[in-house]
Amino acid sequence: MFRICHGLNSAIGVRCMSRSSTFPLPPASNFQAKPYVGPEYSKVQKIKKENLVPCILSYYKKPLLIHEGKMQWLFDHTGRRYLDMFGGIVTVSVGHCHPKVNEAAIQQMGQLWHTTNIYMHPKIHEYAEKLASKMPGDLKVFYFVNSGSEANDLALFMARAHSKNFDIISLRNGYHGMSPYVMGITALSTWKFNVPIGGGIQHTMNPDVYRGPWGGSKCRDSPIQTTRQCDCPAGACEASEKYYEQLQDVFRYSVPSGHVAGFIAESIQGVGGTVQFPKGYLKKAYEIVKSNGGVCIADEVQTGFGRTGEHFWGFEMHGVVPDIVTLAKGIGNGYPMAAVVTTPTIAQSLGSALHFNTFGGNPVASAVGKAVLEVIEEEKLQKNSEVVGTHLLLRLAQLRNEFAEIVGDVRGKGLMIGLELVADAQTRTPMSSTNFMDIWEDCKDMGLLVGRGGLNGNVMRIKPPMCITTEDADFTCEVIKKALENYLEKRRKNLS
């Protein structure tokens, strides 16, 4: 047995454990986590069981007790260091406890914590002006809220109030939040409760070129394509046309002719497993929606703020300009804030009655949001997402080729990445939850944290803080490779 140590020195927290083989060491870090002084692990487990609702699930068989974070690293109560390649569910955009963002919050807290927008305060105006400078076209009017669900909820309301229509169309496999209003447009059965939710919602076929009936090796705007065969001619995507025909059928049969309120889609589906649409699909979808009286809503909760690399907003990769955009998660680097941005004309639709959010645009939130934008610019994190993300995608594609029997697909753009595990590569049968969990747990044991998504929970969701390095990307691939090797070795032993 080898004696394996996590961490390179005491400054980053060393923990040793016995394993039958060595596994990768993480890149060095000079940051020293403070000693944990909270309640004992068993006490935390007891409180969770007795005082938190059971739907709040924790990752892993033995959940981690995280007590400190620094940039791309997280530290548990024992001092062990983990590379966070999920970013607090795609929320930590510029790095845990980034010093500039921290300082902005601290300074604002010392001056003015809160006064609602019944009074003017400078920070919300400074922030709105800077955020508007990042938006194309006439998208320049903001309504600040507190979460992605709330932002999408308000976006639907705006669409209906402006269009005077009722029906909303969303994509199957899309996730847009869990408030009762938006649970209707979320189209994943695992996130549905058996209660009346969101009337007037129509779901259309998801244009998934890996799992859907159409698509192949020329259909994505990504460095990595699916291995499915593709007969698309140069400059055209036949899969896009076929999925668009399915959307046309929704207009033919499911909504009042010429009377749709809106269409909402993520630029790349997040919770659904980092699903990318075929080239040209979203542009055609926007055209038919507008021609039928509706507005187009881009859910940028996960894809915004430079994460996709080539563009600041995910919708830009589709060559479209939405009527309404929803923002959250990375907007505040973990601070609970969100926003809806729209045109002056659509914004006027909320003027027919009073509408108010107590905490939206709070002084501290606005200071944090402005600092996040400044860090993205100053540290060139959008470019880093493109360079490091492409490097990571190419390395993961090598793993797909090496482990073709269980790695079905690698997809994404920038640092919005998914790796789908399968039981059978030919039929694309999803890997069972039990087997996926073995690999996932193994990654955690080697110091790597990744998310989990897709309807069947068989997709590794890799969406780290945008400050990660190529060394972090290489460590990620080395750990995943080792976990896949361990899984196959275990499977062979069970079969023998």
Looking at the fold, whether 474 and 327 belong to one and the same domain comes out as no
Over range 224-248, report the average pLDDT: 92
Same domain, 386 and 449: yes
For the cut 50, the answer to whether the pLDDT of residue 15 exceeds it is: no
Residue 74 has pLDDT above 50, yes or no: yes
**CATH number, domain with residue 34:** 3.90.1150.10
- 138 Cβ contact list (under 8 Å, min separation 6): 343, 344, 345
- pLDDT of 329 higher than 70: yes
When pLDDT is averaged across residues 193-214 and rounded to a whole number, the result is 93
Average pLDDT over residues 407-420: 98
Q: pLDDT band at residue 21, thresholds of 50, 70 and 90? A: low
Q: Write the DSSP symbol of residue 331.
A: G
For 355-394, give the DSSP string: ---SSTT-HHHHHHHHHHHHHHHHTTHHHHHHHHHHHHHH
Query: How wide is the angle at C-alpha 73 spanned by C-alphas 144 and 18, nearest 5°?
Result: 145
Q: Are 373 and 431 found together in one domain? A: no
Q: 347 and 414 share a domain?
A: no
Query: Reduced to 3 DSSP states, what percent helix, strand and coil does the chain have, rounded to the nearest 5?
Result: 35, 20, 45
321 contacts: CB under 8 Å, gap ≥ 6: 136, 137, 139, 315
CA pair distance 480, 484, nearest whole angstrom: 6
Question: Which pLDDT does position 17 carry in this prediction?
Answer: 37
Distance, in Å, from the CA atom of 200 to the CA atom of 328, rounded to the nearest integer, reads: 25
State how far the Cα of 360 lies from the Cα of 147, in Å rounded to an integer. 10
Q: Would you say 391 and 473 are in contact if contact means Cβ atoms under 8 Å apart? A: yes
- Give the contacts of 89 (CB within 8 A, at least 6 positions apart): 329, 451, 463
Note whether 374 and 390 are same-domain residues. Answer: no
Query: What confidence score (pLDDT) does residue 215 get?
Result: 94
User: Which pLDDT tens digit goes with each residue over 255-309?
Assistant: 999 999 999 999 999 999 999 999 999 999 999 999 999 999 999 999 999 999 9
Are residues 132 and 77 part of one domain? no
* β 451-453/81-84 pair status: unpaired
Specify the residue for token string 């779901």: 203
pLDDT at 189 > cutoff 60? yes
Give the pTM: 0.94
Reported as a pLDDT band with limits 50, 70 and 90, residue 495 is confident
Q: Are residues 374 and 291 in the same domain?
A: yes
* Highest-scoring range by mean pLDDT, 23-32, 80-89, 227-236, 353-362: 80-89
Pair (90, 126) in one structural domain: no
What is the Cα–Cα distance from 460 to 476, expressed in whole angstroms? Answer: 12
Give how many domains the chain has, as a whole number.
Answer: 2
Asked if pLDDT for residue 7 goes beyond 50, the answer is no
What pLDDT does 233 receive?
A: 85
Query: Of 362, 378, 394, at which residue does a domain stop?
Result: 378
3-state secondary structure of 471: helix
What is the reported pLDDT for 198? 77
Which of 336, 363, 378 is at the close of a domain? 378
Asked if residue 149 and residue 257 are part of one domain, the reply reads yes
396 pLDDT above the threshold of 60: yes
Q: What is the pLDDT of residue 354?
A: 85
- What is the structure's pLDDT at 249? 97
Residue 241 pLDDT > 50: yes
> For residues 21 and 489, which has the higher predicted lDDT (pLDDT)?
489
- Closest-CA residue to 31 (of 92, 91, 96, 93): 96
Residue 19 binned pLDDT confidence (cut-offs 50, 70, 90) = very low
Q: What is the CATH number of the domain that holds 223?
A: 3.40.640.10
- Quick one: 134 and 274 in the same domain? yes
Q: What is the per-residue pLDDT for 57? A: 84
- Is pLDDT above 70 for 234? yes
Residue 136's pLDDT is 97
Neighbours of 380 (CB within 10 A): 14
Mean pLDDT in residue range 148-156 = 97
Q: What pLDDT shows up at residue 13? A: 35
SS3 304: coil
Q: Which range of residues forms the domain containing residue 429?
A: 2-96+381-495
Which of 329, 351, 378 is where one domain is finished? 378
Average pLDDT, the chain: 93
Q: Do 352 and 291 lie in a common domain?
A: yes
Q: Is there a contact between 220 and 279 (Cβ–Cβ < 8 Å)?
A: yes
Mean pLDDT of 179-183: 89
Based on the fold, state whether residues 207 and 250 are members of the same structural domain.
yes
| Number of helices (H), then strands (E), in the chain | 12, 18
What are the tens digits of pLDDT across the range 343-373? 999 999 988 888 889 999 999 999 999 999 9
Q: What is the DSSP string of 54-119?
A: TT---SSSS---EEEEEBTEEEETT--EEEESSHHHHT--S-BT-HHHHHHHHHHHHH-----TTS
> Is the predicted pLDDT of residue 22 greater than 90, yes or no?
no
Q: Are 175 and 152 in contact (CB under 8 A)?
A: no
